[in-house]
């Protein structure tokens, strides 16, 4: 693609695609380390996207639930802005060709933890992310102004005269390429792959945070890591998610003796905010484990929950016949690269969007299905801003290459994941955090990001949302 210097978007998940589509009157170069969105969390999204579209529901109620889940630490103005755009986001996705599930001709609305109303729009039952990503990838392929290059991993930012001047990308054969631009968007996703148990793709280990750290951009609130309460407990590593929408449809969490696990823990019971449920299940891990009982949902599994059904069957489990074992797993990072309301960081020329960015809308704990929403709304807004900005040639001057650091290799990676899981999970103690921080030292990208997260966790002595400090005498590790 010849012509003007492109806006470079790093990451082809939902946030990167939405940014590229909105920016496309300009030339856009969309880079991704993994082809066809296969390395993205967006493709795995199950439950859906939150929007107040149902009878009696309102943006105000959606904002109230978002702020309550965020434990008082979300930015009210940003939250109001986000949820007010939610109905528009759903209709924009429909216009891009996303076929959301319908009931009697109307959008079918599910319910998830922390929501006071049915407001989760979904597609393909529990295959929402894949359906959305495929539709947007088709749109991007039709846009002549978007060039998509896959298999390129960005491992450094180029700086000149205090501005971002480009990126360095590494091909699978080890070849490197410098791409010059005055506008870089990081849309690299989250950090769940840094933990021994997580729902994210294994490669999600904070690449964007490592790049931002190296370049001196400001990171924010790194201690707030959301643990999804119900990953399928089939060992360690990347675990299949068991969507919260199942509990919205009536499934019940039980302890090892079959008793309702959430009884008396929170007024919303099984649909309490995620941090509350995750802490309860983390404790139950020490007492024989937890189970999701969806046996009362007798029919409709193939249509409503095909992804969960397939994952259970792949592990020899039948969720229609018996409760399935579940465990908390690292799922979402509320924190990230600090950005303004338009996705700009404080480092000129550097922007961030999606899970890698911190806009302040999630506070200490994200409300279910608000992440896809944020990707669409913020991606669109950032793309439009970049499309309308003056051309951004790379600045002149002496170059400085800010390297994220090499990815950590096994077995050191397994040790880092185990350490974070033990010390920086749903329940933390100052002593365990200090031990982990002492142990984790290195110049590789993974250790740098983990060390920054541990430093933030140690610095914040106030339990809120997903950052929860337990008393030292409670801090025995789960088996
Ligand atoms: C199992 C699961 C279920 C979920 N369900 C829901 C849900 O129902 N509703 C909801 O709102 N949220 C859900 N979430 C959260 C949501 O999916 C994510 O927060 C969101 O999709 C993140 O989108 P993103 O575009 O920021 O990042 P991603 O979709 O993760 O995309 C990041 C992309 O960047 C690429 N990349 C990373 N580093 C580099 C690099 N250095 N160079 C080049 N490319 C790079 C990756 O390959 C990837 O394609 C779920 C998450 C998971 C894991």
Q: What is the pLDDT of residues 402-430, one digit of tens each?
A: 999 999 999 999 999 999 999 999 999 99
163 is catalytic: no
pLDDT in tens, 372-403: 999 999 999 999 999 998 767 778 888 899 99
State how far the alpha carbon of 255 is from the alpha carbons of 267, 291, 322, 470, in Å. 18, 6, 14, 21
Mean pLDDT (whole number) for 246-267: 94
Q: Could you tell me if the CB of 350 is within 6 A of ligand 1?
A: no
pLDDT in tens, 54-65: 999 999 999 999
Mean pLDDT (whole number) for 103-109: 95
pLDDT in tens, 299-338: 788 888 999 999 999 999 999 999 999 999 999 999 999 9
pLDDT at 3: 57
Q: Could you tell me if the CB of 137 is within 6 A of ligand 1?
A: no
pLDDT at 477 over 80: no
Closest CA to 368 of 331, 336, 319, 340: 331
The alpha carbon of 424 and the centre of ligand 1 are apart by a number of angstroms equal to: 21
For atom 10 of ligand 1, which residue has the closest CA? 369
Q: What domains lie within the chain, and their CATH numbers?
A: 7-224+334-403 (3.50.50.60), 228-330 (3.90.700.10), 412-474 (1.20.58.100)
pLDDT in tens, 165-203: 999 999 999 999 999 999 999 999 999 999 999 999 999
Q: Quote the mean pLDDT of the chain.
A: 94
pLDDT at 248: 85
Q: Could you tell me if the CB of 355 is within 6 A of ligand 1?
A: yes
pLDDT at 407: 95
Mean pLDDT (whole number) for 209-221: 97
pLDDT at 475 over 60: no
* Contact between 239 and 198 (Cβ < 8 Å): yes
pLDDT at 397: 84
pLDDT at 473: 45
Long-range pairs for 309-313: beta carbons < 8 A, 24 or more residues apart: 311/232, 311/240, 311/241, 311/242, 312/232, 312/240, 312/242
Mean pLDDT (whole number) for 205-211: 98
Report percent pLDDT > 90 for the chain.
86
């Amino acid at each position: 693609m010849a012509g003007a210097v492109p806006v470079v978007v790093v990451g082809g998940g939902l946030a990167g695609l939405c940014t590229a589509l909105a920016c496309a009157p300009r030339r856009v170069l969309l880079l991704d380390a993994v082809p066809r969105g296969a390395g993205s969390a967006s493709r795995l999204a199950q439950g859906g996207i939150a929007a107040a579209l149902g009878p009696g529901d309102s943006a105000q109620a959606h904002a109230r639930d978002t702020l309550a889940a965020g434990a008082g630490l979300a930015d009210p103005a940003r939250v109001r802005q986000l949820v007010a755009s939610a109905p528009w986001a759903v209709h924009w996705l429909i216009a891009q060709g996303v076929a959301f599930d319908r009931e009697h001709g109307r959008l079918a609305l599910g319910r998830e933890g922390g929501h006071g109303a049915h407001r989760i729009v979904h597609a393909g039952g529990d295959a929402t992310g894949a359906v959305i990503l495929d539709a947007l990838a088709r749109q991007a392929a039709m846009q002549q102004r978007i060039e998509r290059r896959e298999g390129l991993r960005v491992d450094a930012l180029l700086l000149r005269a205090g501005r971002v001047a480009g990126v360095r990308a590494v091909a699978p054969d080890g070849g490197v390429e410098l791409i010059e631009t005055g506008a870089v968007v990081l849309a690299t996703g989250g950090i769940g792959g840094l933990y021994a148990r997580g729902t994210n793709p294994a490669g999600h280990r904070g690449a964007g945070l490592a790049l931002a750290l190296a370049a001196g951009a400001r990171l924010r609130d790194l201690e707030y890591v959301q643990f999804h309460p119900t990953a399928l407990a089939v060992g360690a590593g990347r675990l299949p998610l068991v969507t919260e929408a199942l509990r919205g449809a009536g499934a019940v969490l039980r302890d090892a003796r079959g008793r309702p696990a959430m009884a008396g823990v929170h007024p919303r019971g099984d649909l309490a905010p995620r941090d509350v449920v995750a802490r309860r299940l983390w404790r139950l891990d020490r007492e024989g484990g937890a189970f999701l009982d969806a046996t009362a949902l007798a029919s409709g599994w193939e249509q409503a929950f095909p992804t969960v059904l397939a994952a259970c069957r792949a592990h020899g489990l039948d969720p229609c016949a018996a409760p399935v074992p579940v465990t908390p797993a690292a799922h979402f990072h509320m924190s990230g690269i600090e950005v303004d309301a338009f996705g700009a960081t404080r480092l000129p020329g550097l922007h961030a969007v999606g899970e890698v960015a911190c806009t302040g809308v999630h506070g200490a704990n994200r409300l279910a299905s608000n992440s896809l929403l944020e990707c669409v709304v913020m991606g669109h807004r950032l793309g439009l801003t970049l499309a309308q900005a003056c051309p951004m040639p790379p600045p002149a001057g002496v170059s400085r290459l800010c390297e994220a650091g090499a990815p950590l290799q096994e077995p050191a990676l397994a040790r880092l994941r185990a350490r974070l899981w033990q010390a920086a999970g749903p329940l933390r103690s100052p002593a365990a955090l200090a031990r982990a921080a002492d142990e984790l030292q290195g110049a590789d990208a993974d250790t740098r990001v983990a060390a920054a997260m541990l430093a933030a966790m140690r610095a914040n002595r106030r339990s809120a949302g997903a950052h929860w400090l337990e008393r030292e005498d409670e801090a025995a590790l789960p088996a």
